[in-house]
Amino acid sequence: MARDSLIGGALWEEYSLEVQRRMNEPTNMGEITEAQKGDNELIIADFGAESCGDAVRLYWLIDPKTDTIVSSKFKSFGCGTAIASSDMMAELCMSKTVDEALKITNIDVEKALRDEPDIPAVPGQKMHCSVMAYDVIKKAASIYKGVDMESLESEFIICECARVSQDTLIEVIKLNKLTTLEEITDYTKAGGFCKSCIKPGGHERKDIYLVDLLLEVKEAKEAEEKSRKIIEAKGDGTFLSMGLVQKIKAVESILEEYIRPTLKADGGNVELMDIQDNGGVFEVLIKYQGECMSCSMNTTTTLAGIEDMLKFKLKAPLKVIVS
C-alpha cells in the first residue's frame, strides 16, 4: 500500500511502522479452544465500539492458582488500526495477573505501538480503537471475577481516548489553575486524540465536554472569590472577621450598654481610643474620664471588669490597656 494512501480518512504515513506491521502481520491473532486450556481457566470476552462498528474478541488462559494470564489471543472484526491495537493489547496482557492487566490503559497500548516516544502511533481520530482494546480487557476481567463490567470502572470517564475521569480533570484544573483547553491537554492528554471530548460537534457525542468542566471550575472559583469578598466586607458575625470600623462599633456598643452606666453613676466615664492587633491579640486602648481618672481601682478592678465583659461578649482574644 502506498504511504500516501488514505485509511479511514487518515494518511497512511500518520501510522507508525509498528502499527503498519501489526496491521499486516499480527502476532497474537487467533483463538484458544477448550481443548487447549488444560488446568487453566478459559475466558472469552467480546466487546464492540458503537462509534465505528468495530468489535474484538479476547481469549485468556488464566492459571486459577495465581490469577496469571498464561496465554492471550484475539480476533478483531474491524479496521487495521483495531487489529494492531488488539494485537498489542493481547501482548501486554501476557504473564500479568488479571488485576495487573486491568491497569493497562489505551494510552499504554498506543504508546507501545509508537516508533518514537513523542510521536503518536495513530492519528487522533483512530484513538478509539485502542480504547476498545482497553474495554475488552475490562470485560474479560469482569467475567473472570464474576462481577459487572461497570463495577470495574469507578469513575466517570470524560476523555475515552486518554481514559481521563471527570474528577481527575477537575482536580488538575483547580490545582494547576488551568484556564485553557490547550493547558488541559498538555497536563492530562484529554482532548489530544479524537478531540470529541473538547466541545460539541466532534467525532462522537458526549454528555459532558472539557469546555463544560473548564466553565464549571471557573464559575466555582468566581463564586468562591465573590463569597470571600463579601465576608471580608461584611464579616461573618465574629469579631475576628470584622473590619476596624466594625470592631470599634462593637466595642463601643458594649461599653455603652454595660460599662458606662456604672462609671457615670460615680461621676466617671471611659473613652475608646483605638483597637490594635498585636500578634493575634486585640489591644483595646481606653482613656478614663471624670472621677475615674483619680480612682485607685482604674488600673485593677475596673480595668479587669471592662476586659472580662468585652471578652465574654465578643468571644475574642482581647487586652484592655489604659492609654
Does residue 79 carry a catalytic annotation?
no
Task: Tell me how far the alpha carbon of residue 196 is from its chain's centroid.
Answer: 20
Surface-to-core class of residue 9, CB atoms within 10 Å of its CB (0-12 exposed, 13-18 middle, 19+ buried)? exposed
The residue from 79, 93, 129, 194 that is catalytic is 129
Nearest of 110, 111, 116 to residue 129 by alpha carbon: 110
Q: How far apart are CA 169 and CA 210, in angstroms?
A: 8
Q: Hey, what's the cell of 173?
A: 484544573
Q: Which amino acid is at 12?
A: W
CB 148 within 8 A of CB 155: no
The residue from 52, 194, 197, 292 that is catalytic is 52
Q: For cell 477537575, what's the residue?
A: 170
CB 68 within 8 A of CB 123: no
CB 6 within 8 A of CB 79: no
CB 158 within 8 A of CB 214: no
Q: Which amino acid is at 121?
A: A
Q: Please, what is the angle between helix 181-188 and helix 210-234, to 10°?
A: 110
- 320 DSSP 8-state letter: E
The CA–CA distances, whole Å, from 7 to 1, 35, 51, 306 equal 10, 38, 17, 86
Sequence-ordered list of residues with C-beta below 8 angstroms from that of 267, at least 6 positions apart, any chain: 290, 291
Q: How far apart are CA 106 and CA 162, in angstroms?
A: 7
Does residue 295 carry a catalytic annotation?
no
DSSP reduced 3-state for 79: coil
Annotated active-site positions, please?
52, 129
